[in-house]
């Protein structure tokens, strides 16, 4: 009759320590990845929320008379609209633009709402594009300007519209 000794053999102990060591190393390697994924997910979700809020705020003031009109000054001379085609004229502006007149939409109208109250590390900057689209419904090309700096009356004008711009996360500076 063989007597069995209590305990583990050296080989069993060695394998158990190796497996535990590999498990601890793998567990430790997961933490930095998890933290960076959590941070990335938070920033992307917050960016989407900022975009929705900014789009809503710009949408509320999109048709206000205080916004800069689509065309500043005169129409470009010599611009021809082909038959059956359209052309859109407009400028991208910021409320801080010095060309905005005193009675138009100003920086003071939006500056209080740019920094997020829930997380002051994030803010948004409004840019808007006002444009008017002119369509040539005739069978011949038409020159856009009428010779006096105005628009050719034969072109059908679609009223000014505000174009929405997407907001993207800056991935060039990972911190």
What residue spans define the domains of the chain? 10-167
Q: Is 150 helix (H, G, I), strand (E, B) or coil?
A: coil
Dist. CA 131–CA 103, nearest whole Å: 20
Query: Over the stretch 134-146, which tens digit does the pLDDT of each residue have?
Result: 777 888 787 777 6
pLDDT at 158 over 70: no
| pTM of the complete model | 0.45
Query: Over the stretch 79-97, which tens digit does the pLDDT of each residue have?
Result: 777 888 877 766 656 656 6
Give 11-35 as a 3 state SS string. Answer: HHHHHHHHHHHHHHHHHHHHHHHHH
């Amino acid at each position: 009759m063989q007597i069995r000794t209590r305990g583990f053999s050296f080989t069993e102990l060695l394998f158990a320590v190796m497996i535990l060591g590999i498990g601890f190393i793998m567990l430790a390697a997961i933490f930095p990845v998890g933290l960076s994924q959590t941070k990335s997910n938070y920033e992307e979700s917050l960016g989407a929320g900022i975009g929705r809020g900014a789009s809503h705020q710009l949408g509320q003031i999109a048709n206000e008379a205080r916004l800069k009109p689509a065309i500043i000054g005169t129409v470009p001379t010599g611009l021809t609209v082909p038959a059956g085609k359209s052309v859109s004229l407009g400028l991208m502006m910021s409320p801080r633009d010095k060309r905005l007149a005193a009675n138009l939409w100003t920086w003071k109208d939006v500056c209080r709402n740019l920094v997020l109250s829930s997380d002051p590390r994030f803010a948004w900057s409004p840019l808007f594009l006002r444009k008017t689209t002119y369509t040539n419904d005739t069978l011949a090309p038409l020159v856009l300007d009428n010779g006096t700096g105005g628009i050719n009356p034969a072109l059908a004008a679609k009223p000014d519209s505000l174009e929405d711009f997407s907001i993207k996360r800056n991935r060039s500076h990972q911190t």
